[in-house]
Structure 1
Amino acid sequence: MYKRILVPIDGSATSNNALREGIKLASEQHSQLRIVHVVDEAVLYSDVEGFMDITALRKALQESSKNLLTKAAETAKKGGVDAETAQLNTAGERIATTITEEAKRWSADLIVMGTHGRSGFDRLLMGSIAEGVARIAPAPVLLIRD
């Protein structure tokens, strides 16, 4: 049913659960699996300038993302699925927009992602990337709760 499954990850336990579900679905349906991680460069343009070396911070963010994607691809391989990976940069956009743009570009049939299930004040402060994706996604979104 789903031929192209996109799984955005962030390294959290909930994200890891979503990855496992995406791998399971891809294996069962012989689907292509694309694992993505968004590097949110907004932190680079906040008040850290003058306190930190922005170039070093950018490099650390990129390296951390690369390691996360490598580990996720290894997890997929152990689950019998060859996954492609991609590091995405926000380029000033919201993370949800970056994910949905990638889903459009890659022609994803399904997006599988974790949601932390925040509510109330926490949700107001932190927002919900998963909710943002679900609102504007070009494909169905399967949300995996923590």
Structure 2
Amino acid sequence: MYQRIFVPVDDSDTSNMALDEACKLAKAFGSNLRLVHVVDLAQFGWGGTEFLDATELQKSIKQAGEQVLGQAGDRARALGVTPDCKILESWGDKIAAVLSDEASAWGADLIVMGTHGLGGLMHLLMGSVAEGLLKVADMPVLLVRNPATEPSHGSVIPREALRSWWTRE
């Protein structure tokens, strides 16, 4: 049924739940699994670099994204699925569009991702990558939510990226 399952990942519990579901489907259908993590490098490419080394911060963010993706790949392999993993870079683009474009280019026939269930004012201000993806994707999207927790969200900037940048020598 599904031959190519595309899974955006971050460092949240909800993302891990979505990955687990995608692995179940991949095993059941013998599907290829692609894991992706988007790093938005544009948010640190602005002026004012006399106070901030934007290039170093972007490098740290990309390295942290690779770590998030590596951990997701390890999780998939532990569940018996060998994924293809890819870092996607965004330079201020809508993350949903970056994901949709990559899923289409790869030939995905299903996207599986976690949704953090932001509501109220936070949803109004931030929007939702998952909701945006539902609007632009040209293939089915399976959203996985963790009902056992309060609405949570993975780091906009992976914590390790900030930590490594802040503590660099």
Paired residue type of 1:23: C
Task: Please list the CA deviations of residues 88-109 of structure 1 after superposition, one character each: whole Å capped at 9, or x if unmatched.
Answer: 0113311000000001100100
Equivalent residue for 1:11? 11
- Contact 2:43/2:92 (<8 A) preserved: no
2:128 is the counterpart of 1:99: no
Higher gyration radius (CA):
2
Question: What is the CA–CA distance in structure 1 between the aligned matches of 2:49 and 2:98, rounded to whole Å?
Answer: 24
Task: Please list the CA deviations of residues 70-100 of structure 1 after superposition, one character each: whole Å capped at 9, or x if unmatched.
Answer: 1111111111111000000113311000000
RMSD (Å) for aligned C-alpha atoms:
1.2
Equivalent residue for 1:124? 124
- Contact 2:4/2:108 (<8 A) preserved: yes
Question: What is the CA–CA distance in structure 2 between the aligned matches of 1:103 and 1:80, rounded to whole Å?
Answer: 22
| TM-score between both structures, scaled by the size of structure 1 | 0.95
Paired residue type of 1:102: E
> Which has the larger displacement, 16-25 or 42-51?
42-51
For residues 1-146 of structure 1, the aligned pairs below 5 Å read 1-46=1-46, 49-146=49-146
Q: State percent identity of aligned pairs.
A: 47
Aligned residues: 146
Paired residue type of 2:28: E
Question: What is the CA–CA distance in structure 2 between the aligned matches of 1:87 and 1:21, rounded to whole Å?
Answer: 21
Task: Please list the CA deviations of residues 19-38 of structure 1 after superposition, one character each: whole Å capped at 9, or x if unmatched.
Answer: 11111111111100000000
SS of residue matched to 2:85: strand
| TM-score between both structures, scaled by the size of structure 2 | 0.82
Identify unmatched segments of 5+ residues in structure 1: none
Question: What is the CA–CA distance in structure 1 between the aligned matches of 2:84 and 2:48, rounded to whole Å?
Answer: 33
